[in-house]
Chains A and B, each alone.
Chain A
Amino acid sequence: AQSVTQPDIHITVSEGASLELRCNYSYGATPYLFWYVQSPGQGLQLLLKYFSGDTLVQGIKGFEAEFKRSQSSFNLRKPSVHWSDAAEYFCAVGARRDTGNQFYFGTGTSLTVIP
């Protein structure tokens, strides 16, 4: 069965520190992988996505993620966190087909940034 695990419910980092948010997935085939961010009162904004090719993908706001097939992981990273990065982060997987396929989400990781 398809599933996404985000082991860290909540992470606190200092502004300027590096960040890594973990995501592991279980999927029957090679999936499409996504990271979304949700700021308070806002919708889910796409940070980045992986479909194929280079396993290190760059996204908006200085985020990047690396797909590791052997570990079934798609961890999100940022070298230097800004206070405005405080938000909820969701990892999601989707099927490799151009139909009304659903996404499977993790439970999210809440990021707090301290000055």
Chain B
Amino acid sequence: EPEVTQTPSHQVTQMGQEVILRCVPISNHLYFYWYRQILGQKVEFLVSFYNNEISEKSEIFDDQFSVERPDGSNFTLKIRSTKLEDSAMYFCASKWSQETQYFGPGTRLLVL
């Protein structure tokens, strides 16, 4: 069964450094998403991406964040200058055109 995959599973970085989180969505899917979950809190929407552009983003997704689909298979989330409060589990999700989003296993980001 096709799955969404994410790399790395864990990332530790210093405050102020750039990080890139990678996702490989399910191959025939058209909509792509990033969510995050700060420890003990809700899973929160960050951004959705369709037809090579952002279709929706939350207040969390400020200028420090960017997304890209560089090669038709990968979907990346970049945080330009990480802050302590960016420490969270980041989930990638994708869907075709039906309503169900399929989630990856997540990347746990720790900013020191």
Contacts and interface: CB of A to CB of B under 8 A. Distances in A.
Q: Do A and B bind each other?
A: yes
Interface of A: 4, 32, 34, 36, 41-46, 49, 51, 90, 92, 94, 96, 98-108
A11 B81 CA distance: 38
Interface string B12-48: 0000000000000000000101010000011111001
A100 B101 contact: no
B42 A99 contact: no
Interface in B90-104: 91, 93, 97-104
State which size class the interface on B falls in. 20 to 34
| Most central of B42, B49, B105 by chain A CB within 10 Å | B42
Contacts of A98: 97-99
Given A94-B99, A103-B45, A107-B41, A44 B91 contact: yes
A81 to B, nearest CB: 23
Given A46-B100, A46-B102, A106 B42 contact: yes
19 contacts: A4-B42, A36-B103, A41-B9, A41-B105, A43-B91, A44-B43, A45-B103, A94-B101, A98-B98, A99-B55, A100-B49, A102-B45, A102-B58, A104-B45, A105-B35, A105-B42, A106-B42, A107-B42, A108-B43
Given A43-B91, A101-B56, A34 B100 contact: yes
B45 A43 contact: no
Given A43-B91, A43-B106, A103 B4 contact: no
B2 to A, nearest CB: 13
B99 A32 contact: yes
A103 B42 CA distance: 11
B105 A90 contact: no
Contacts of B6: 43
